[in-house]
Structure 1
Amino acid sequence: MTHAHIMVVEDENIVAKDINHRLKSLGYDVPAVASSGAEAIRKAAQTLPDLVLMDIRLKGDMDGVETADQMRRQFNIPVVYLTAYADNSTLQRAKVTEPFGYILKPFEERELYTCIEVALYKHHTECKLRESEQWLATTLRCIGDGVIATDMAGRVKFINRVAELLTGWTQQEALDKAITEIFHTLSEDRDDSCAILVAEAIREGHAIDFSNRAILVANDGTGTPIDYSAASIRGDRGQVVGAVVVFRDVTERRQAEEKLRYLSTHDILTGLYNRAYFEEEVLRLERGRHFPVSVIMSDVDGFKLINDTEGHAAGDTVLRDAAYVLKSAFRGEDVVTRFGGDEFAILLPGTDDEAVAEAMARLRHGMAAYNALHSSRPLTISLGSATAQTGPLADALKEADRRMYQEKALNRLRETGT
């Protein structure tokens, strides 16, 4: 690598000129020569050379070892020591500054050239590696997933910002702790799932997906629903050296899923079950032989008139009030459904004729209580019930519907006084 900029730090003027001449004959540029540590640091800041040839014995308060250490820390400039000192004490001090070479005077020109070229190449390679590490570290800090890396024993060696926020542990607090202490999960499928997952990833040497309904318990005891997976980390020889766990907060996704599930089984206006869910329950009860099963069909009287004269908003209010009265009269296991329009249906598992009659009485009592408070617009619901002792439920539905329309006709006659 020719035309690299090499700075010379040498307190002997004649030696410095000789080194300068040799460097130029090898094709290098020499942007600066310094004889003291302070001068070297000042000129390095001005010229930013590619490499510094550093004598250990210098003028001033700083020797070459101290100067090289400051250059490395401040400017990340590689240093090659060019010195007559090879005693063990000096060598040990020099090693701490992580030099890229150590040449003893007197030296051969070829030796100098070889050492400089190797140092420049090594520094270039380390800079590329450091840059890649910085890109990786920045990526891990900025991605939306939490990342925790461990060694073979499951001790935490890295935790990114998202993982810090979700676990409640900072990287400083988490380092060298067992991952099960930092990444504590509760799972519906298995106990101590994180420890099993990490151990499996290390043992199998490949990625293990574990996207179950897990709850990550943070340091303060709060829980967050997550999906997570683990994979082994391999060294430069392909050997497994640890594992990485990647996880994400799925709170919003779970909420969206719950909302979709709710909307698929419920009527938006009334909050009751919808007809699709009702029909699924009919099939389930028939398959499971949960007999006797009773059915109540109901219809709001005069609903069309309310819609026509007072508007749909008033009609919606009547339907919501009817749904409230209906739901209040039945058990939690009963399937109270908006069947369509102003028609409602109720499935009552394990209910015979006597029990359904009691349920109908509760419902009528609930309507009376409602009407006592809403005399300006009383609520009248026509009802019909039937019980299937052995099945099928379709026959009971038809009979309950028939009886409901029979009662509706009687209510209409009462209203007209005929």
Structure 2
Amino acid sequence: MNSENQALILDDEKLFTRWLGTVKSQADIALWEWNVHTGEVVVNSRWYTMLGYRPYEFIATYESFQTLLHPDDRQRVLSLLENHIIQRNGIIDVEYRILCKNKEYRWIRSRILAVESSLNREMSNVVGSNTDIQRSKLEEIRLREREKRFAQFLDEMPLGVAQIDNKGVLIYNNGSLERIFGLSRWNLEKRGLASFLLDIRQQRDSDHLLNKQTPLGRSSKKILGDGREMDVEIQWIYNDDEKGNPNYTFFITDVTEQKRREEELHYLCFHDNLTGLYNRAYFEQEMNRLNTFRQLPLSIVIGDVNGLKLVNDTFGHKEGDRLLVCIAQVLKSELRNEDIICRWGGDEFAVVLPKTDEATAEKICSRILRTCKEADEGPIPLNISLGVACKTNPEQKINEIFVQAEEKLYRRKFHASIEVRNTILKSLKDKLAEKYNETQAHIEHLRQLAIQLGKSLKLSDNELNELYLLASLHDIGKIAIPVHIASKEEKLRVEEWEIMKSHSEVGYRLVRTLPEYAHIADKILTHHEKWDGTGYPLGLKRNEIPVLARILAIADAFDVMVNGRPYKKPLSLEEALRELAKGAGSHFDPAMVEDFFKIIPRVQ
């Protein structure tokens, strides 16, 4: 037993009581004595003033003491006191809150001792001293709250924190570290995170850190977390513990998403978003990079897609985009890994072929053209014009080689333009016939009807030639109409009819892109106009409707009547003529209908 205990445990109970009476009025601390047998409690004046009472305002008893205890502390304090009386285990310290006169609780620290009777060794009194610890306790609570908030901040911050000693033991880690890696502390230790981090530190700048010359280290790594690969940025600082042993605090940031965005941004900066090929900026950069003696001969190929405007105007830009993607795929399939392919802009592509002479480049271009011809990827054949130029001398300027390739491209495109357009038009007509079962016999019959009516109206040879083309191409716009609408046997819904009516406008836009046929574009546009102005798409009437369009309207209607369509049964000749007669003056030019009746015997 220490001296403090000895001072309080007296051999004579009367002597102890006398001692307590002497000090209780003089001590600056609150003193009290509780007689366990009688329940009497004796206190000094400081006990009252500590709680804000005067001696006559409060009667100190064990029961009243219990009522003053804070509800959250009461059970703990009373249990401790009861155990102490039974066990008599020397002086005990206990902190608790007690109610003062002003109805506020104050923090008190009590030092308590159960005193044995010198006669029978039974416990008779419990004595104690109270100290006001309100200020220090509140400061302690505030400090604990700050520590709790700081710990919470560390756990919730996006930065992972790990503290590791120089033996590679993980001393501390916050919750963010576990969330970043998707692993518990146990798994972090099992996977050797501490050793991994120390190895990184050592690889980078351990000498500086050990010499305390560099306060901060940094490294970026690609590592595995919970089965996934991730990018992290690791920083660390060096410090000593209280014994002078080196510790390292690591700060780990998950930069996987940041890296992904950086790579995506880098990709977008140097790639064409539609085709996935390199863009013009990257091409120019690479063309200058490859412009060295070691890469000679250096060939450049410039390409221009044929028919893109036609596809955009006829089928929409989505189909035009698909055409560009198909061309890009052909280029990638026929060119080598070391070749730089780019979409130069719009419908143009460019290629740099290092260590490639012009003859080899021309062979590659031939392969590209052959692959395009064999492909069947859309409404028109894949077709691209290509120009090639080669740098063989270091003195030649690369920009001049590029211009030479462009000039060859434009010459080839000009010479092949008519053939290309005819090929495109033939392909469209073939696809239209296949799509809607339009037979050549039907086209021939329609031409014959229209030409005979045109001759009866004394049209010129040029007009008859136009009429011949119009009869051949008037429905070319149907190539863009879905089959389930154009071939539907039931009556079309309103929205379907609007789509169906658009074929004359589609045909108009398509033919306007072909110079050899552009002069009949307005007739294709108006061949569904009606004499009374109720037709489409412009609502023209009478002589506002081009003559050739009026002729075709009669010939086409008659052919539909006598040959039928999926949505209409064929009529007899007499029935068809009666229907034409009914439509004269409303649907058809009445004078032309009369002339048509005259030529019918000649074409049957």
Q: TM-score, normalised by structure 1?
A: 0.72
Question: Are 1:365 and 2:373 an aligned pair?
Answer: no
- Helix, strand or coil at the partner of 1:377: coil
Which deviations, in whole Å up to 9, do the C-alpha atoms of 1:62-121 show, x marking residues without a partner?
A: 66789867979xxxx7744233779xxxxxxxxxxxxxxxxxx999xxxx67xx25x555
Give the direction of change, closer, same or farther, for the CA distance of 1:58–1:325 in structure 2 (3 Å limit): closer
Greater CA drift, 149-158 or 203-212: 203-212
Is contact 2:85-2:114 (8 Å) kept? no
Would you say how many aligned residue pairs link Structure 1 and Structure 2? Answer: 370
- 1:160 CA displacement: 1.4
Flag the structure with larger Rg.
Answer: 2
Choose the corresponding residue for 2:277, options 228, 249, 272.
272
What does residue 101 of structure 1 align with? none
Name the residue aligned to 2:295. Answer: 290
Structure 1 residue 46 and structure 2 residue 71: aligned?
yes
Distance 1:416 1:222 in 2: 54
Give yes or no for contact 2:30–2:46 (8 Å, CA) kept in 1: no
Q: Secondary structure at the match of 1:192?
A: helix
Going from structure 1 to structure 2, the CA distance change for 1:249 and 1:55 (only over 3 Å counts) comes to closer
8 Å Cα contact 1:145-1:162 kept in structure 2? yes
Could you list the runs of 5+ residues in structure 2 that have no partner in the other structure?
1-28, 98-106, 117-125, 423-515, 517-604
Which residue pairs with 1:383 in the alignment? 386
Which of 392, 408, 417 lines up with 1:412 in the alignment? Answer: 417
Shift of 1:42: 8.7
The answer as to whether partners of 2:163 and 2:172 remain within 8 angstroms in 1 is yes
1:226 paired residue number: 232
Q: Secondary structure at the match of 1:162?
A: helix
Q: Aligned pair in 2 of structure 1 residues 152, 126: CA closer, same or farther (>3 Å)?
A: farther
Judge conservation of contact 1:184–1:216 (CA < 8 Å) in 2: no
Q: Percent identity?
A: 26
User: Could you tell me how far apart the structure 1 residues matched to 2:305 and 2:163 are?
Assistant: 63
| Unmatched segments (≥5 aa) in structure 1 | 87-104, 186-190
Q: How many angstroms does 1:143 deviate by?
A: 0.9
Report the Cα distance in structure 2 between the residues aligned to 1:380 and 1:366, rounded to whole angstroms: 10
Q: 1:149 to 1:356 in 2, by over 3 A?
A: same
Aligned with residue 223 of structure 2, among 199, 216, 219? 216
Q: State whether residues 52 and 80 of structure 1, in contact with CA within 8 Å, keep that contact through their aligned partners in structure 2.
A: no
- Quote how far apart the aligned CAs of 1:363 are: 1.1
In the TM superposition, residue 298 of structure 1 has moved relative to its aligned partner by 0.8
- Residue of structure 2 equivalent to 1:314: 319
Structure 1 pair 242/80, CA: closer, same or farther in 2 (3 Å)? farther
> What is the CA-CA distance between 1:52 and the residue it aligns to?
7.7
Find 2:174's aligned residue among 149, 152, 160: 160
For the residue of structure 2 that corresponds to 1:409, the secondary structure is helix
Shift of 1:195: 4.8
The answer as to whether partners of 2:373 and 2:383 remain within 8 angstroms in 1 is no
Change beyond 3 A, Cα 1:293–1:40: farther
CA separation in 2, counterparts of 1:13 and 1:344? 107
**CA RMSD across the alignment:** 4.5
C-alpha displacement at 1:365, in angstroms?
Answer: 2.5
1:347 paired residue number = 352
d(CA) in 2 for partners of 1:41, 1:64:
22
Would you say the 8 A contact 1:150–1:244 is kept in 2? yes
Q: 2:200 & 2:141 partners in 1: Cα distance?
A: 40
Q: Aligned pair in 2 of structure 1 residues 400, 6: CA closer, same or farther (>3 Å)?
A: farther
Q: After superposition, what is the alpha-carbon deviation per residue over 1:345-383, rounded to whole angstroms, capped at 9, x for unaligned? A: 11111212343133223212221221xx24741011111
Q: Which amino acid aligns with 1:24?
A: Y
Cα separation, 1, equivalents of 2:322 and 2:82: 95
Find the residue that maps to 1:294 and give its secondary structure. Answer: strand
CA pair 106-309 structure 1, distance change in 2 beyond 3 A: closer
CA offset at residue 223 of structure 1?
2.5
Listed one character per residue, the Cα deviations across residues 184-242 of structure 1 (whole Å, up to 9, x for unaligned) are: 47xxxxx9314556956565276424153x12333x553211112112356689x7763
Deviations along 1:248-279, one digit per CA (max 9) or x if unpaired, are: 11111111111110111011121111111110
What aligned pairs does 1:136-175 form with structure 2 within 5 A after superposition?
Answer: 136-171=150-185
CA offsets 1:117-161 (integer angstroms, 9 cap, x no match): 5x5555444333322211111111111111112235442121111
Asked if the contact 2:73/2:96 (under 8 Å) is kept, the reply is: no
1:82/1:310 CA distance change after superposition, 3 Å: closer
More strand per residue? 1
Could you tell me how far apart the structure 1 residues matched to 2:65 and 2:190 are? 47
Match of 1:181 among 189, 193, 208: 193
Q: 2 CA distance for matches of 1:55 and 1:305?
A: 95
Correspondence 1:127 to 2:141: yes
- Structure-to-structure mapping, 1:12-27, within 5 angstroms: 12=36, 17-19=41-43, 21-25=45-49
Please list, as runs of the form range in 1=range in 2, the aligned pairs for 1:77-88 lying within 5 A after superposition: 79-83=109-113
Aligned partners of 2:234, 2:293: CA distance in 1, in Å?
Answer: 37
Match of 2:335 in 1: 330
The CA deviation string for residues 34-68 of structure 1, in whole angstroms up to 9 with x for no partner, is: 869xx98897452759x989997867656678986
Corresponding position of 1:393:
398
| Structure 1 residue 306: Cα displacement | 2.6
- Aligned-pair CA distance for 1:25: 4.7
In the aligned structure 1, how far is the partner of 2:271 from the partner of 2:219?
Answer: 28
**What letter corresponds to residue 225 of structure 1 in structure 2?**
D
Q: Bigger CA drift: 5-14 or 297-306?
A: 5-14
What is the CA–CA distance in structure 2 between the aligned matches of 1:243 and 1:34, rounded to whole Å? 57
Q: Which has the higher contact order (CA 8 A, sep 6+)?
A: 1
1:298–1:198: structure 2 CA closer, same or farther, 3 Å change rule?
closer
Aligned mates of 1:317, 1:60 — CA distance in 2: 92
The 1:256–1:80 alpha-carbon spacing in structure 2 relative to 1, beyond 3 Å, is same
- Equivalent residue letter for 1:181: L
User: 1 or 2, which has the higher helix percentage?
Assistant: 2
Cα distance change on mapping 1:61 and 1:325 into 2, 3 Å: same
Matched-pair contact (CA < 8 Å) for 1:55–1:64: no
Query: Take 2:35 and 2:393, find their aligned partners in 1: how far apart are those partners?
Result: 109
What's the CA shift for 1:10?
Answer: 4.4
TM-score (norm 2): 0.52
